[in-house]
Structure 1
Amino acid sequence: MTTILLTGSSRGIGAATRELLEARGATVIGHSTRGDGESEVAADFADPGAPAELWEEALELAGGAIDVLINNAGLFAANPLDGSDITWLDNWEDTLRINLTSAAQLSRFAVQHWLERGVEGRIVHIASRAGHRGDSPAHWHYAAAKGGMLAMHKTIARQYAAHGILSFAVTPGFTDTAMAGDYLASRGGPGLLADIPLGRVAEPEEIANIAAWLALEAPPSLTGATLDANGASYVR
């Protein structure tokens, strides 16, 4: 049985991914900022020590062995260019810590875990179209964090493939979650759909299907790949 640590599992893409993985027989250790005391471990990634605490607790719940890490947790909050210097910097650092640094910490722990045990492992990074094409003027920080996640993913794939440690990334465009819904509303709602040739945003279940396949079934030769799921709004 595959044991998976999935961050940001309480809603949206994370909740859909958890449901799908469990339906396929995987054991999922979930995570959210507050946790629920049963199926999700609490960890606030704004705290630099939280990823290490999450990893140790998850490892204990897993009986000492985690097979897959899915970095899904994220923060998407506007950071207007004309805000005060300290506010802009605080928002920048919060977003990078939650969206990138915490994922880097967990990825490091996972790679070390697999190398020490001499076993194979997989990491799936839920990044964003913004990591390729950028984002709005109020979301520099979000785009930078997701671009950094993609660079980290490629580095892990290149350096550890020979050890059977695989890295995959997914880059959704807009997805029908509360987080994206707020953004769509702030950017004009339906008018923004004109930028998506498919004519609609993705459903969380669509991204979950990709993430679950990467976690459980994708062939090793796909390591290092980034799978776009943005309705052709950004084609590489």
Structure 2
Amino acid sequence: MKKAKIHILVTGASRGIGQAIFESLDQGMITVVGQSTSGEGGLISSDFSQAGAAPALWQQALDRLDGRIDVLINNAGLFESNPIAADDWLESWNRTMTINLTASAELCRLAVLHFQNRHEPGRIVNIASRAAYRGDSPDHWHYAASKAGMVAMTKTIARGYAKDQILAFAICPGFTMTGMAEDYLASRGGDKLLTDIPLGRVAQPEEIASIARYCALDAPPSMTGAVLDANGASFVR
């Protein structure tokens, strides 16, 4: 009997970690579809700041994947400065929460229901951040809070649905060489921040992608609920 391909949805797949994850999966017995805001390069266009975007993306992904998704990888995220004295502080807070946490939660909910309705195993991989545990700069309360929420959500899904063979993992990168990290490093003194990373460098997107691929395809079921750190020992738990 021919083995069915594994169908995977990756959000935030147009650059950085998401692009590296997408490219690492697009091979062999895997069919992967990706999301980005613009939808360039054959990705599905979905703006998570807009109401209804996550459910619409899920349906479009199902349409492209013959009605079956086996793995959801939530990577899409927003990282923007939000000084506490800013007049639009709450607006920025809400926008980050909507994109980073609420959209991911909507997709996780749809994935769990999909796996349950099909009576088949499924996996969820959430890309969080070191900031979930260590916190972030004074201008990034919202980012740290959104990623902490993502970790708590992942653990809750793992505990609640392991009986259904629905597995959930979170990955917490530190600085990774993406556009977001480059901007942040430049704003915070560049190389001076590297002194806080015992490894002496930031991570490469391909390193995080290799962890995501492992969680999506090979991690043993007993690992469900695990939070994997990848920060060059800049924060150890």
- When normalised by structure 1's length, the TM-score is 0.97
Whether 1:68 and 2:71 are equivalent positions in the alignment is yes
Q: Determine the structure 2 residue equivalent to 1:216.
A: 217
Residues 142 and 24 of structure 1: CA distance in aligned 2, closer, same or farther (over 3 Å): farther
Please tell me the residue identity of whatever aligns with 1:2. I
Task: Find the partner of 2:12 among 8, 14, 20.
Answer: 8
Q: Partner of 1:18 in structure 2? A: 22
Q: Quote the Cα distance in structure 1 between the aligned partners of 2:196 and 2:151.
A: 23
Structure 2 CA distance for aligned equivalents of residues 25 and 82 of structure 1: 51
Identity of aligned residues (%): 61
Letter of the structure 2 residue corresponding to residue 92 of structure 1: W
1-side partners of 2:28 and 2:86: how far apart? Answer: 46
What CA distance in whole angstroms lies between the structure 2 residues aligned with 1:181 and 1:68? 29
Q: Which of 29, 43, 48 does residue 40 from structure 1 map onto?
A: 43
Runs (5+) with no aligned partner, structure 2: none
Q: Give the CA deviation at 1:25.
A: 3.6
Cross-structure match for 1:181: 182
Match of 2:142 in 1: 141
Q: Give the Cα separation in 2 of the matches to 1:59 and 1:45.
A: 18
Give me the whole-angstrom Cα distance separating, in 2, the residues matched to 1:82 and 1:97: 21
Residue correspondence of structure 1 range 125-136 to structure 2 within 5 A: 125-136=126-137
The ranges of structure 1 where at least 4 consecutive aligned residues each deviate by more than 4 angstroms after the TM superposition are none
Deviation at 1:34, TM superposition (A): 1.1
Specify the SS of the correspondent of 2:84.
coil
Taking structure 2 as the reference length, the TM-score comes to 0.97
1:81, CA displacement in angstroms?
A: 1.2
Q: Which amino acid aligns with 2:84?
A: L
CA shift for structure 1 position 23? 3.3
In structure 1, give the amino acid aligned to 2:178.
T
Q: Secondary structure at the match of 1:170?
A: strand
CA distance in 1, matches of 2:112, 2:77: 21
**In 1, Cα distance between equivalents of 2:129 and 2:27:** 26
Count of matched residue pairs: 233
- Deviation of 1:39 after TM superposition, in Å, equals 2.6
